[in-house]
Amino acid sequence: MLFYSFFKTLVGQTVTVELKNDLSVVGTLVSVDQFLNIKLDNIKVEHEDQHPHMMSVKNCFIRGSVVRYVHLPPAAIDTALLQDAARRESQQSTATAKA
Amino acid sequence: MADTVTAPITSVEEPLDLVRLCLDEHIYVKLRGDREVRGRLHAFDQHLNLVLGDVEETITTVELDPETKEESVHTTNRKMDMLFVRGDGVILGLIPSILYTAPLPKKLDNHAINLFRPPRERYETPILFDLSKD
Amino acid sequence: MSSFLPNHLFTTSGSLVDLLDKRLLVILRDGRKILGFLRSYDQYERIYVKDVYGDIQRGVFVIRGENVVLLGEIDNIKDDEQPLQQLPYDQVLRMQQEEAEARQQKEKVKNQLLHNQGFSVDFLETDLY
C-alpha cells in the first residue's frame, strides 16, 4: 500500500511514465489504483515519430504491470517522510508475518 | 504504531530486512532489459518496487556496424532526479559498502553477509571486517 | 505521515467508467493496436508500420485485461490532423511481417552477445510488458 499512497500524493503533478516497450508518456497524473494502474491527462509521447499511433491520443490509462519507470518531480517528494514510511511499512509487514 | 513493531530496527532475519538497512544509502540495482541503475534508496516494498534519488542508469545495447558487419556492445548512461522503479524488473541489488564496514547489527548472520559480499576490488572503501575467520 | 496510511477505499473498474462510449486506442502486449468504441459494435484493428497504417475491420472484441498495455482516448481534432498515410491492409501486413523478421534477427544476435556479458536473456519479448 506504500506506493499506492505515495502515488496518490503525486496526483496533479507532471510525471513521465516509461513503459517496458520503451514508450515514454509525459502527462499530468490524474489517478492511480491499488495495482498502480495510472491515468494521465494532456499526454505527450517522447520520440513521437517512433510511436505514430499515439499522435491523436489526449489522455490515457496505463496498466500498472507494463510500467518500467515513473520519472518523478523531486520537488514534490519529501524523501525523509518517504523513507520513514518505507521503514515503518517493512517492519509492519514483518510483524504481521510473525503474528 | 511503534508497539506493533516487535523486532528491533537492526535485526536481519529475512532478505527484505537487508533492503531496509539500505534506506538512504546509495545502491546498485540490476534490472531486466539490460539495464542497471545506481541511486539513493528512498522507498521499497515487498515487490521490490523502489523509489531512487539521484539516479544514474546504464543501458547496454548491441549495435551492428553497417560497414564491417561486426556487432559491438555499447553502454549509454542517463541521469534522473527521482525515479520509481517497478519491482517486477528487479533482478538483484547490491548492498552498499557501509554495511560491511559498520559494526555488525546484533542478529546479522555472518554467512548472510558473506553471501552478499561483492568482490573487494569493487569498492574503494576498505572492508574492515574480515568475515572469513569466524 | 498520515498521508501515507492506507485509509482509502479504491476500485479499478470505477476509473474506466468515464472512458465508456469513447473512441479508444488499445495497445496490446503483442504490439497490436485496436481502435474502437468501448462497449460498441464498431471496432477495427489498425496496423502501423512507421508512418503508414492499414485497417482491418473487426467485430466485437472482448480483451482479457492482462493483455492490455494502454488505453488512450482519441482526440478527434488531433486525429484529423495526423499526417499518416493509409494503405490497403494486406500491403501493410507484409511490411509489418518484414519488420518483425528483421527485429527478431537483431534480437537473436543481441541476446547472444549480452548473454556472454552476464545479462539475463531468458525471457520472451512479450514478457517485457
Mean of pLDDT values over C101-111: 81
Task: State yes or no: pLDDT of B105 exceeds 60.
Answer: no
- Residue C23 in grid coordinates: 473512441
CATH code given to domain C7-116: 2.30.30.100
Residues B42, B53 contacting (CB under 8 angstroms): yes
CA atoms of C129 and C123, how far apart (whole Å): 11
Predicted ipTM? Answer: 0.92
Reported in sequence order, the residue ranges of chain A that DSSP labels E, i.e. its strands, are 14-19, 24-32, 38-45, 57-62, 67-71
Which positions 101-130 of B are in contact with A (Cβ < 8 Å)? Answer: none
User: Could you tell me which chain A residue has the CA closest to the CA of C69?
Assistant: A63
- Residue B1 in grid coordinates: 504504531
Q: Which tens digits make up the pLDDT trace of A59-84?
A: 999 999 999 999 999 999 999 999 99
Residues C45, C34 contacting (CB under 8 angstroms): yes
Domain architecture of chain A: domains with CATH:
2-98 (2.30.30.100)
Number of CB atoms found within 10 A of residue C22's CB:
15
- Residue C129 in grid coordinates: 510488458
Q: Which helix (H) or strand (E) holds A96?
A: helix A79-98
Q: Which tens digits make up the pLDDT trace of B4-31?
A: 444 445 567 788 888 888 899 999 999 9
Residues B8, A99 contacting (CB under 8 angstroms): no
CA atoms of B53 and B81, how far apart (whole Å): 6
Residues A34, A4 contacting (CB under 8 angstroms): yes
Cβ-Cβ contacts under 8 Å, B60 against chain C: 114, 117, 119
Task: State yes or no: pLDDT of B106 exceeds 70.
Answer: no
Q: State whether residue A63 sits within 8 Å of chain C by CB.
A: yes
pLDDT at B126: 41
Specify the pTM: 0.75
Three-state SS for C77?
A: helix
Residues A67, A20 contacting (CB under 8 angstroms): yes
Task: State yes or no: pLDDT of B127 exceeds 60.
Answer: no
Instruction: Choose the most confident range, by mean pLDDT, from A14-18, A51-55, C67-71, C85-89.
Output: A14-18
Q: Which residues of A touch B (CB under 8 A)?
A: 2-3, 6-7, 20, 36, 64-65, 67-74, 77, 79, 82-83, 85-95, 98
- Of A2, A34, A49, nearest to C4 by CB-CB distance is A2
DSSP strand pairing (C85-86 vs C52-57)? parallel
Through-space distance between the first and last CA atoms of chain A, rounded to whole angstroms: 19
- Of B32, B60, B91, nearest to C117 by CB-CB distance is B60
CA atoms of B85 and A70, how far apart (whole Å): 7
Mean of pLDDT values over B69-77: 83
pLDDT at A18: 96
Give me the torsion for CA of B56, B60, B65, B66, rounded to 10°.
-90
- Of C4, C31, C128, nearest to A5 by CB-CB distance is C4
Q: State whether residue C4 sits within 8 Å of chain B by CB.
A: no
Residues near C120 by beta carbon (within 8 Å), at least 6 away in sequence: B32, B91
Please tell me the least confidently modeled range out of A68-77, B3-12, B69-78, C92-101: B3-12
CA A51 to chain centre: 21
Q: Which tens digits make up the pLDDT trace of A3-59?
A: 999 999 999 999 999 999 899 999 999 999 989 999 999 999 998 887 878 888 889
CA atoms of A84 and B23, how far apart (whole Å): 9
Give me the torsion for CA of B119, B120, B123, B126, rounded to 10°.
160
Distance from CA of A85 to the nearest CA of C (A): 7
pLDDT at B121: 40
Are the beta carbons of A53 and C25 separated by less than 8 Å?
yes
Q: Where are the domains of chain C?
A: 7-116
User: Could you tell me which chain B residue has the CA closest to the CA of A77?
Assistant: B82
Greatest CA separation for chain C: 58
Three-state SS for A35?
A: coil
Q: CA torsion sign, A69 to A71 to A77 to A78?
A: positive
Q: What is the residue-wise DSSP string for C47-68?
A: EEETTEEEEEE-------GGGE
Q: One-letter amino acid identity for B65?
A: D
Three-state SS for C3?
A: helix
Q: What are phi and psi of B117, to 5 degrees?
A: -75, 125
pLDDT at C47: 52
